[in-house]
Amino acid sequence: MHRLLSAAASMAVPLLFPGVAVADEAAGITYATQASADTTWLMIAAALVFLMQAGFAFLESGMSRSKNAVNVLMKNLMDCCVGSLLFWCVGYGLMFGLNEGGLFGTSHFMPVQMEAWGYSFLLFQMMFAATAATIASGAMAERTRFGGYLLGAAIITAVIYPVSGSWVWGGFHGGKGWLAELGFIDFAGSTVVHSVGAWCALAGILVVGPRLGRFPRNEKPHALPGHNLNLVTLGGFILWFGWFGFNGGSTAQANVNIGLINLNTQLAACAGALGALLALRLSGQPMLLTGIINGVLGGLVAITAGCATTTPDYAILTGAIGGFIAILGMKLLDAFRLDDVVGAVAVHGFAGAWGTLAAGLFFAEDPFNTYRVMVQVTGIVACFLWAFLSALLMYILIAAFFGLRADPLHEQRGLDITEHAEIGYPEFARQNAYDSDTLNRINR
Amino acid sequence: MHRLLSAAASMAVPLLFPGVAVADEAAGITYATQASADTTWLMIAAALVFLMQAGFAFLESGMSRSKNAVNVLMKNLMDCCVGSLLFWCVGYGLMFGLNEGGLFGTSHFMPVQMEAWGYSFLLFQMMFAATAATIASGAMAERTRFGGYLLGAAIITAVIYPVSGSWVWGGFHGGKGWLAELGFIDFAGSTVVHSVGAWCALAGILVVGPRLGRFPRNEKPHALPGHNLNLVTLGGFILWFGWFGFNGGSTAQANVNIGLINLNTQLAACAGALGALLALRLSGQPMLLTGIINGVLGGLVAITAGCATTTPDYAILTGAIGGFIAILGMKLLDAFRLDDVVGAVAVHGFAGAWGTLAAGLFFAEDPFNTYRVMVQVTGIVACFLWAFLSALLMYILIAAFFGLRADPLHEQRGLDITEHAEIGYPEFARQNAYDSDTLNRINR
Amino acid sequence: MHRLLSAAASMAVPLLFPGVAVADEAAGITYATQASADTTWLMIAAALVFLMQAGFAFLESGMSRSKNAVNVLMKNLMDCCVGSLLFWCVGYGLMFGLNEGGLFGTSHFMPVQMEAWGYSFLLFQMMFAATAATIASGAMAERTRFGGYLLGAAIITAVIYPVSGSWVWGGFHGGKGWLAELGFIDFAGSTVVHSVGAWCALAGILVVGPRLGRFPRNEKPHALPGHNLNLVTLGGFILWFGWFGFNGGSTAQANVNIGLINLNTQLAACAGALGALLALRLSGQPMLLTGIINGVLGGLVAITAGCATTTPDYAILTGAIGGFIAILGMKLLDAFRLDDVVGAVAVHGFAGAWGTLAAGLFFAEDPFNTYRVMVQVTGIVACFLWAFLSALLMYILIAAFFGLRADPLHEQRGLDITEHAEIGYPEFARQNAYDSDTLNRINR
């Protein structure tokens, strides 16, 4: 290994390192060690958050029919690639650049030369941006054109996510967001990442419409079961694993708080499963694996805002209600004939809004403070309005000028063969089974 | 990200941090940095051990027939959720609470307010408890009712695992376990975690009985091949990956010993594959992928006790014998007509007992010391008696008052459809193929 | 957990710890903390690089036909096991032992007693060696005998990889490699690991020949599509994830440079996808998922050499060209009727050579320096000659005296059933479909 930079680097003390709080010349190496510990922790956390891309990909692919598996995977892969590059170009500057008005940042676009810590911070934040963008892919799966989807994901990562993000986390390079000024609490992004992604997804499914055969006229909603529940579970486990980096890494430094943060994360996830189980029972559904997984994810989304500022008992309560909401939210969407393939709007949107509220209600030092709760509600509503309305406009424009909905014949054949000339399981696929089924449903 | 706690936290020096051994006022930040390094390492290790839940889930699902895939996944998912919550409620206190008699702990139930380090330690131990509990799920797969299984797993995590665990690792909040007093060596849990889990599994398969068609009357045992060997291999790789956190994290601090520990872990895993290959040859079996994976796992289980106190050459020997034992152990269970779907009793039980013995035999500073070996045998036997007998009683009671064995018609149709109303691969499944096969076998 | 070693260990300051640069008695604990941070970072990175074995296994299994899935998995599993043990026996000493002549090391074979840091370093390097060896498995899949393949992989890990590796990274225990003396830059192994593995693979596919039916006489090359694209994508994501340890861990210490290194890694991967997309368009191919994944991997391979010494903008350029080369390289191999099942030679070889060149061209402190570029070319050519020619000789000897190519009837039935008596998906497999297809192709 080339060691050109290493000797000098381990002695350097970049000004921005958050864990280095005391100045003392003799202790130069100490600061370097804390800076090293901060860097390695953030880089591990970034890798875990990156892996959540795979989690989303497999959850969504498994929940889709096999004729769309490749298309789902491609959307997840490419939104990460395009999104990461655009976040470096534009999004990072909008979110973390100099933010004097509190509305968005205005510096650090396409950054090439930064303090050492800046590169780590940028990479970690890039992974977050990619997470927010990919939430829509699952909701809109199986009937959205690849090009239209990707254009939308690019705009979300480059503009929509960074702007509302700057309100809460902005000002890394100077200034402060207006929601942060009010005291809004969203430690790791129940609202900033998950709800914002989900409100974009909600706009997307409104514009693109439900899958063929999902809501037959004068009939109950018709479930279109996912083709591979092992894959769904793999996705769920990977997301859960990644969340320890998502929440734990949001300290943006190596410190002892990470223990409480990740303990709360684990307890909320587990409680989310129980909340979902209760909701399944109350709504007369069987003990569905897919339901339990969405319950776990609902618990995780809910604890994300308050994981650093609440106690384990309240974390369990937050998670349980998050899981409960995830299941009932899916029922609600069905009632409005909104077709969300994986339940992303319920899991990331509704449970995220609840979690943001819970972070205010269960704030350990000062729980149930009315002012704090009002600030949380303000943040939830403001981010909803921004993300939903801008994404709605965006998808309407994409649909009008570029094309968003796949051709019905393509949808019936499956987007894998029509958009990518590849199929997921060439030796096993029974492509026609679902096509004729869908066909009958439409002709009826 | 909210930074409320961070500035103060990085300066705090909780008394319990293990890596902070010297007191010196001027060096406050140094202790904070070591505490941060300890925390981040333990949190990473905890995440890796968590991921082992996914490893077990996919190994077991792949080794089962597809008609039970969802059921297997659900058991793995729910035992983690219920187990984690109960470990927080009861298990942690029993295992690590004030332990004056040396038999079990009596404080720290449902802990809400702890030193910062306590949260990290609790989360790491929670992941271990979940690992122990889930071992039984694979052995008992494909014919055990979901509710009965889950009740058993809950009791294992809450009571059975913590009690014997307290004998060896107890006294974190004061006191010391009786086996620790004797000098029993089990660094990361060949006995404490793996064998205890496996002895519970052994009790379970005794009570629940073999799958229909597994041991036809007057015939050789009939293999019921797993439905997806890619999934089995995924599970195996994830477990191997997680083991670097399982063994390396058992330092419970960031220190330089982790290098030797994880090197020994890797060498033993690799040697386990060769040991298994030899055992397959000697027992006249082909070069089975499933056998090699169980050999790797046998090697890993075996080195777990002694990974910190043995040298690489002995680690290779320990692992090779562990892999050898895993394969022959499965033959032995077959001879007794005990149906262990994944070979968990052989891999975690027999190889774990061997590894615990090997940790005494190959103790680097003082190998082949008779007293030490006798202490190891004492620990192996004591933990076997406690775990096996208490689990036997438990499963008998569950079978009598709650129900443990699935209805034969449910078993034939597969537990996915009968317990969860979901199937793993709705587009590919040929449910009937195995049903009629099994049916013929029974009618014969 | 047993704490025998811990108290002493956290105070020890092994001489070799790279992050500990200044001597000062009062700061003993500081050095210990830096040493702990170095160890934990390297052990995490080693675990991530280990997981890349799983990435290769699933990428290759998914790209093969289902009748060879078990065989592919076995090769990946066993080359890791045998390779790790042999690297400990022989390879480590050849690569990092005392290296006075600059050609190979001559000490530290089968090391049992080392400084604490030595164990960590050995484990990390063991994972790298296993990576290099496994590259050939994908290229040669579906028609290579298990025994012959494994023998080749063993020799690569024990001899071929360590010798050229010592030229660049050697001398850890004294001395320096001749390429390092010249100033050759290959931070994490675009050439040392990836190209060397790929040149061995190229020799392998030359000797073993193409799969039956891949290049029908007087016809265009015939694609034999992989059986499971979800599995391919899983492999791709795992490799990408592991690369953050592969590149980031090559600092061999915890320091602040890891931020830039992993940011460059991520940007190059993303740009690789876009480079591949362009190449697919220009060569008239559809938007293939498998192509995009190879583009990402091409970008990752390319940035590996220069990730620590280039800036983000050049990292994007390096990655984009890497992805472009990966796609066109596969076309080139087709033109020469060389059958590389997964495109390993193009991805790891061609993109690796490009990346090594790019590390010279885009060296941040002094870009486009002619001397530096000439040194890079020298290293690329020298490593190609050594690895390709020695592997060619090796595979010729294996083919002559041991057997390398599977029997045609075995190849048609699939190596799973003929070599391992196991099949990947016993409930779903339609073994005959491809056999008759292949048969017709041959008989024509």
When pLDDT is averaged across residues A316-323 and rounded to a whole number, the result is 98
pLDDT grade, residue C264 (50/70/90)? very high
In the predicted model, what is the mean pLDDT of chain C? 91
Instruction: Report residue C63: phi and psi, to 5°.
Output: -80, -10
pLDDT tens for each residue of C224-245: 999 999 999 999 999 999 999 9
Chain B residues with beta carbon closer than 8 angstroms to that of C43:
244, 248, 258-259, 262
The domain limits of chain B are 2-17+31-105+114-409
**Cα A247 to Cα A307: distance, rounded to the nearest angstrom:** 7
Residue contact A259–B118, C-beta within 8 A: yes
Give the C-alpha distances (Å, rounded to integers) separating A76 from A308, C205, C224: 30, 33, 25
Min Cα separation B124/chain A (Å): 9
DSSP string, A82-99: HHHHHIIIIIHHHHHS-B
pLDDT grade, residue A24 (50/70/90)? very low
Most C CBs within 10 Å, among B250, B266, B300, B311, to test the C interface? B266
CB pairs under 8 A between A and C: 227
- Residue A132, both tokens: 């927010």
pLDDT tens for each residue of C356-378: 999 999 999 999 999 999 999 99
Are residues A346 and A298 in contact, defined by beta-carbon separation less than 8 angstroms? yes
What pLDDT, on the 0 to 100 scale, is given for residue C21?
40
**Cα B81 to Cα C421: distance, rounded to the nearest angstrom:** 38
Residue contact A39–C258, C-beta within 8 A: yes
What pLDDT, on the 0 to 100 scale, is given for residue A5?
33
Low-confidence ranges of chain B (pLDDT < 70): 1-29, 429-444
Give the C-alpha distances (Å, rounded to integers) separating A353 from A305, A306, A376, A378, A443: 9, 12, 9, 11, 40
Please determine, for residue A441, whether its predicted confidence score (pLDDT) is greater than 80.
no
Residue contact A29–C21, C-beta within 8 A: yes
Residue given tokens 């899981």 in the structure block: A323
Are residues B19 and B253 in contact, defined by beta-carbon separation less than 8 angstroms? yes
> How far, in whole angstroms, is CA B270 from its chain's centroid?
19
Burial A298-313 (b: 16+ CB within 10 A, else e): bbbbbbbbbbbbbbbe
**Cα B84 to Cα B168: distance, rounded to the nearest angstrom:** 21
Whether the CB of C229 is below 8 Å from some CB of chain B: the reply is: no
Q: What is the DSSP letter of C144?
A: B
**Cα C259 to Cα C312: distance, rounded to the nearest angstrom:** 11
Q: What is the DSSP letter of B65?
A: -
Smallest Cβ–Cβ distance between C420 and the set B65, B263, B286 belongs to B286
Chain A residues with beta carbon closer than 8 angstroms to that of B78:
273, 292
What pLDDT, on the 0 to 100 scale, is given for residue B2?
33
Chain C residues with beta carbon closer than 8 angstroms to that of B429:
427
Chain C residues with beta carbon closer than 8 angstroms to that of B236:
77
3-state secondary structure (DSSP) of residue A341: coil
pLDDT tens for each residue of C36-81: 999 999 999 999 999 999 999 999 999 999 999 999 999 999 999 9
List beta partners, residue C405: C144
Question: Neighbouring chains of A at 3+ CB pairs within 8 Å?
Answer: B, C
Smallest Cβ–Cβ distance between C50 and the set B241, B296, B425 belongs to B241
Residue contact C81–B21, C-beta within 8 A: no
When pLDDT is averaged across residues A358-373 and rounded to a whole number, the result is 96
**Cα C135 to Cα C155: distance, rounded to the nearest angstrom:** 14
| Maximum Cα interatomic distance, chain C, rounded to a whole number of Å | 81
Smallest Cβ–Cβ distance between B271 and the set C33, C85, C228 belongs to C85
Please determine, for residue C126, whether its predicted confidence score (pLDDT) is greater than 60.
yes
ipTM, 2 decimals? 0.93
Question: Neighbouring chains of B at 3+ CB pairs within 8 Å?
Answer: A, C
pLDDT grade, residue A218 (50/70/90)? confident
Q: Of C353, C357, C423, whose CA–CA distance to C384 is shortest? A: C353
When pLDDT is averaged across residues C377-398 and rounded to a whole number, the result is 98
Instruction: Report residue A10: phi and psi, to 5°.
Output: -70, -10
Please determine, for residue C15, whether its predicted confidence score (pLDDT) is greater than 60.
no
**Cα B245 to Cα A244: distance, rounded to the nearest angstrom:** 14
**Cα A244 to Cα A269: distance, rounded to the nearest angstrom:** 11
What pLDDT, on the 0 to 100 scale, is given for residue C27?
56
Chain C residues with beta carbon closer than 8 angstroms to that of A37:
37, 254
**Cα C162 to Cα C183: distance, rounded to the nearest angstrom:** 19
Whether the CB of B10 is below 8 Å from some CB of chain A: the reply is: yes
Residue contact A427–C66, C-beta within 8 A: yes
Tell me the percentage of chain A whose pLDDT exceeds 70: 90
Whether the CB of B260 is below 8 Å from some CB of chain C: the reply is: yes
> How far, in whole angstroms, is CA A346 from its chain's centroid?
12
Torsion A335-A340-A343-A345 (CA) sign: negative
pLDDT grade, residue A356 (50/70/90)? very high
Most B CBs within 10 Å, among A29, A48, A238, A289, to test the B interface? A289
Residue given tokens 């376990």 in the structure block: B177
Name the amino acid, one letter, at B37.
A
Look up the pTM and report it. Answer: 0.94
- Residue A352, both tokens: 């995220």
**Cα A164 to Cα A319: distance, rounded to the nearest angstrom:** 25
List beta partners, residue C144: C405
Please determine, for residue A433, whether its predicted confidence score (pLDDT) is greater than 50.
no
Burial B132-159 (b: 16+ CB within 10 A, else e): bbbbbbbbbbbbbbbebbbbbbbbbbbb
> How far, in whole angstroms, is CA A371 from its chain's centroid?
28
Please determine, for residue A11, whether its predicted confidence score (pLDDT) is greater than 70.
no
Chain B residues with beta carbon closer than 8 angstroms to that of A428:
428
Torsion of CA C439, C440, C441, C444, to 10 degrees: 120
> How far, in whole angstroms, is CA A365 from its chain's centroid?
28
DSSP string, B243-306: HHHHHHGGG-S--TTHHHHHHHHHHHHHHHHHHHHHHHHHTT----HHHHHHHHHHHHHHHTTT
Whether the CB of B395 is below 8 Å from some CB of chain A: the reply is: no
List beta partners, residue B405: B144
Most B CBs within 10 Å, among A31, A59, A185, A229, to test the B interface? A229
Residue contact C50–B245, C-beta within 8 A: no
When pLDDT is averaged across residues C266-290 and rounded to a whole number, the result is 97
First to last CA, chain B: 66
Please determine, for residue C443, whether its predicted confidence score (pLDDT) is greater than 60.
no
CATH 1.20.950.20 for domain C2-17+31-105+114-409: no
A34 to chain B: nearest residue by CA? B33
Question: Neighbouring chains of C at 3+ CB pairs within 8 Å?
Answer: A, B
What pLDDT, on the 0 to 100 scale, is given for residue A28?
66
Are residues C57 and C76 in contact, defined by beta-carbon separation less than 8 angstroms? yes
Whether the CB of B415 is below 8 Å from some CB of chain A: the reply is: no
Most B CBs within 10 Å, among A233, A267, A376, to test the B interface? A233
Residue contact C257–A9, C-beta within 8 A: yes
pLDDT tens for each residue of C280-316: 999 999 999 999 999 999 999 999 999 999 999 999 9
Please determine, for residue C25, whether its predicted confidence score (pLDDT) is greater than 50.
no
Chain C residues with beta carbon closer than 8 angstroms to that of A111:
312
When pLDDT is averaged across residues A50-63 and rounded to a whole number, the result is 98
DSSP string, B357-369: HHHHHT-TTSTT-
pLDDT grade, residue A198 (50/70/90)? very high
Residues 6+ apart with CB under 8 A from A160: A196, A200, A386, A387, A390, A391, A394
pLDDT tens for each residue of A254-310: 999 999 999 999 999 999 999 999 999 999 999 999 999 999 999 999 999 999 999
**Cα A390 to Cα A161: distance, rounded to the nearest angstrom:** 10
What pLDDT, on the 0 to 100 scale, is given for residue C431?
45
Residue contact C69–B230, C-beta within 8 A: yes
Instruction: Report residue C405: phi and psi, to 5°.
Output: -85, 135
How buried is B221 (Cβ within 10 angstroms: 0-12 exposed, 13-18 middle, 19+ buried)?
Answer: middle
pLDDT grade, residue C391 (50/70/90)? very high
What pLDDT, on the 0 to 100 scale, is given for residue A30?
75
Residue contact C10–B22, C-beta within 8 A: no
pLDDT tens for each residue of C147-175: 999 999 999 999 999 999 999 999 899 99
Smallest Cβ–Cβ distance between C11 and the set B21, B286, B313 belongs to B21
Are residues A64 and A231 in contact, defined by beta-carbon separation less than 8 angstroms? no
Long-range contacts, stretch B407-414, CB < 8 angstroms, 24+ apart? B408/B212, B408/B442, B411/B142, B411/B143, B411/B211, B411/B212, B411/B438, B412/B212, B412/B438, B412/B439, B413/B67, B414/B65, B414/B66, B414/B67, B414/B68, B414/B71
List beta partners, residue C175: C99
Residue contact C21–A37, C-beta within 8 A: no
Name the amino acid, one letter, at B30.
T
- Residue C389, both tokens: 């020619």
Whether the CB of C88 is below 8 Å from some CB of chain B: the reply is: yes
Burial B290-327 (b: 16+ CB within 10 A, else e): bbbbbbbbbbbbbbbbbbbbbbbebbbbbbbbbbbbbb
When pLDDT is averaged across residues A333-343 and rounded to a whole number, the result is 96
Whether the CB of A242 is below 8 Å from some CB of chain C: the reply is: no
